[in-house]
Amino acid sequence: MARTSFKSATVALSAALAGAALLFTAAPASAANPPYDGCPAWALCVYQHEGGTGSKAVITPPPAGGNGSIVRLYQVHFLNGDLADNQVSSWINNSQCSIKFWDDPTGELHPSDLDYTPTWSWGAKADYGNGSSKYYANDRISSLQFWCP
């Protein structure tokens, strides 16, 4: 029984020393991800801040042939838990779909078109930060409509 206790203590000490070594040799954590980071294929990623920074929400478009599908951003959350509705400052489209970006606060049939990306434009981006020609769209997008060939 004494041998088992000694072995357990040795294993625990080794694990603690290895953990301490990792703690003191780890590189400093990055404060932010690179711009437009981590958006998978066949997805639209919307970002909370300009330039593809801040928390993101990954929105999966309908399959090919899915036309007219509408996504209301009051049902979408950024990875940090915040609602995406009226909080989008930039986006990247990694799908083949065209997308209309709307200011549609009440879900009416006549939304205001804020932006558009055509089909077959993988990697298309928009930034609504200060200095952008589309600054008027910053934090106003509340609905998306997909057209997927």
**pLDDT by residue (tens digit) across 23-58?**
333 333 444 568 999 999 999 999 999 999 999 999
Give the confidence band of 134 by pLDDT, cuts at 50, 70, 90: very high
Q: List the domain range (segments joined by +) for residue 67.
A: 44-147
Looking at the domain assignment, is residue 59 inside a domain? Answer: yes
CB 78, CB 87: distance < 8 Å: yes
Looking at the domain assignment, is residue 53 inside a domain? Answer: yes
Instruction: Compare 8 and 134 and report the one with higher pLDDT.
Output: 134
Looking at the domain assignment, is residue 6 inside a domain? Answer: no
pLDDT at 11 over 80: no
Give the confidence band of 6 by pLDDT, cuts at 50, 70, 90: very low
Report the predicted TM-score, pTM, of the whole model to 2 decimal places: 0.75
Looking at the domain assignment, is residue 141 inside a domain? Answer: yes
Q: Tell me what the pLDDT averaged over the chain comes to.
A: 81
Looking at the domain assignment, is residue 98 inside a domain? Answer: yes
CATH label of the domain that carries residue 140? 2.60.20.10
- State the average pLDDT over residues 2-29: 40
Looking at the domain assignment, is residue 25 inside a domain? Answer: no
Could you report the per-residue pLDDT of 48-86, keeping only the tens digit for each? 999 999 999 999 998 877 788 899 999 999 999 999 999
Q: What total number of domains does the chain contain?
A: 1
pLDDT at 10 over 70: no
